[in-house]
Structures are given as structure tokens and as C-alpha cells.
Homo-oligomer: A and B are copies of this chain.
Amino acid sequence: MPIYTDLVNSLPATVPFVGPETQERASGRSFVARLGANENVFGPSPIAIQAMAQAAAECWKYGDPENFDLRHALAAHLRVDMENIVVGEGIDGLLGYLARMIVEPGVKVVTSAGGYPTFNYHVNGYGGEVVTVPFKGDFEDPEALIAKAAEVGARMVYIANPDNPMGTVHSAEAIQRMIDAVPADCLLVLDEAYLEFAPKGTAPEMQADNPNVIRFRTFSKAYGMAGARIGYAIGAPELIANFNKVRNHFGVSRIAQAGALAALKDQRYLREVVKLVEQGRARIGQIAEGQGLSVVASATNFVAIDCGRDADYAKRVLTHLVDNGIFVRMPFSAPQNRCIRLSVGAKSDLDMFELYFPLALEAADD
């Protein structure tokens, strides 16, 4: 038998998330409302769709391995240098490269218990140890994360702002304090995947040459292009240069590059989507309220509904919804797993949720 590394042999067969298609195949039925994966049903700008359709016809060409045009546009948009930006196969892909650059057996990283599992997947995948701190209420806890990073000598400390899976958000000031306090030999991994949905002023000032911070953003969420697989990171030039030592240089789709460039230029559409998402969040709040329940205030395109009891109850609610064609998910960890979580859907999606949610609550009572 060929020889695999001890590390790979030791890894479990696991996936960070089970996809909706997998669930559909298992049940033999398609979901009617796809609200579980933090996807943005409003989709990309029509201009981006057109750019992708056009690029599809030219996809016999590899994409530009430097992602030059997109990095150039992003640099102007963010007022940083191109050398501060690396474009990759979604944040997930870039997190994998980052883990590879920093994590090896014996290395510790700090994140929140119940935080984004794909980050942990990559850290474990390179033999690192994930050390967690609990949420504080339904918020990630910047002070506790930093304190734990210092305590265990972590090489990375991860926070998502706004948070996933709860949708809560910290102010720019709170994140800036975190940036200022990150240990000198540690990297703060600031995942801003949902930033565009958050109130203005959520992002701390861009100090792109700070070697202790890397920020991740994406076209998967507010720009509605999850399936195109394109995201980016902003960091100090030395850090960004390290990505170029390990990344798959021709890995980003030419179609995605064209779409992202067009999407970035259509900020008017982005603002419209953000508005629609705000309205959808409000409606989910009303639906919950109609059942005497509350939601966790969200700065993202998804909302956690507090089902008001324990995880088993929330799981039964979720199962009933899923069995009736409504794809939702729930947080992994207590006490956040008292909630179910759904993305803002189209009106028809939320109509359907409104119809089935009371029935699910009732069924969960049995």
C-alpha cells in the first residue's frame, strides 16, 4: 500500500457542513425553500451574471493567475495597495492556505466554541490544536479570545465579525481594541464575510500593513456569488507574499474573476440587496414574534430564532421544517443550539417558512 503521512492517517473523515443536496438525495425530495446555508437568494448583480455568462464562452482560457484586474479594483475600492490583497477560491480556500502557512503539529490556535467550523477543519487538517473560548451571550468574546491566545501562545486567533452562526456584531472600536491587543507573535484572523450586511462603521480602519492582522472578505455573501468561489484576504505584503508560495496559482476561475470584477463595480445593486436583506431580517423577526419567540439581533443575511427551550427541542423544530422542504440549520454548540438559523430568503421562501414554523413548533412539542 502507498504510504500516507501519519497526519492524514490520523484525520477523521469529516465535513464541516453537510450540503443541502446531500440531504435532498437522502430524503429523495428537493427543498422548496433553501434557507440553511447563509446563501444570498437575491443573487449577483445582473451585470455580474452577464459578465460570467460571457466569460463562460471564453473559459477555454485559464484565469489570470495574478488576479490582477480584480486585485487592482479591490485595492482602489479599499484604498490599500495591490500587494495587500490575495484573491482565492473563496474564504474557505484561503483559510486552508493560511492554516498551511502557520499550523503544524503542536501549534495552537484560538477560536470561539461553536465558531466557524471550516476554520477548525483546516487547523486540524494541518495537525494544529483548536483551543476554544465560549461565546459571551450570543457574541464572540474579543477579550476572552485575546486573553486565551496570550495564555496558550496561540499562533492565530480567529473571530468573525459579524459572527457566524449567530449574526451578532461588534463595533469597530471593539475590534480595534482586539487588533491592538493581539500578541506580537500571533495573527488575528478577522473574518468579515458578512461585513457588507452590517451597519456602516462596523469595520475598523484599514491598517493593511499591520503584520498581525489578516482580514477575509468574499463575493459569496452580499455579492451573491457563493457558487462561483471567489474571495480575498487583506494583509501585510509579507503575509500576502507567503500565499504565493503555496497557493494554486491558476486556481481561481476565470468566470469568477469576471463576475467579481463586475459585481464590485455595481455598488448600487449591492446596496439594494442589503436593503432587501434588512427587510427580510425584520420579517423573520415578526414571524418569530408571532409565535411568542425572539430572534438574535443580526448584522448578516441570516437570523437565529431562539426557540426558547433546549437543543433537543430546537432540533425537533428544525427536523420538522427540513422534512417539509424548508432547509434550515442550527448552531453546533450550547447554548446557541437553542436556536434555529435561517437565511433571508425570497418572499415566497419566507411565506413558506411562516406557514410551517408554527406547525414545526407544535410538532416539536410532542
A residues engaging B (CB < 8 A)?
1-5, 7-8, 11-17, 19, 21-22, 25, 34, 37, 39-44, 49, 52-53, 55-66, 68, 89-90, 92-93, 96, 100-104, 125, 155-156, 184-187, 211-212, 220, 224-229, 239, 241-242, 244-246, 248-256, 259
Contact = CB atoms under 8 A, between A and B. Distances in A.
A71 to B, nearest CB: 12
B43 A62 contact: no
A60 B89 contact: no
18 contacts: A5-B100, A5-B104, A8-B100, A8-B102, A15-B65, A16-B249, A21-B66, A21-B68, A43-B57, A49-B56, A49-B57, A59-B227, A59-B259, A61-B227, A62-B226, A90-B250, A227-B255, A228-B255
A241 B15 CA distance: 12
Nearest to A213: B2
A155 B250 CA distance: 26
B102 A2 contact: yes
Contacts of A63: 227, 229
Nearest to A53: B53
A73 B257 CA distance: 28
Q: Is the interface of A mostly helix, strand, loop or mixed?
A: loop
Given A15-B244, A63-B227, A66-B22, A2 B254 contact: no
Contacts of A239: 2
A11 B97 CA distance: 14
B11 A245 contact: yes
Contact of A65 (B19, B93, B155, B212): B19
A104 to B, nearest CB: 5
Given A53-B56, A227-B63, A245 B2 contact: no
A123 B103 CA distance: 18
B227 A92 contact: no
Given A22-B65, A65-B17, A245-B11, A56 B5 contact: no
Contacts of A4: 101-102, 242
Contact of A60 (B53, B211, B226): B226
A237 to B, nearest CB: 12
A356 to B, nearest CB: 21
Given A2-B212, A8-B100, A227-B255, 6 more contacts: A2-B239, A11-B245, A14-B245, A49-B56, A56-B259, A227-B254
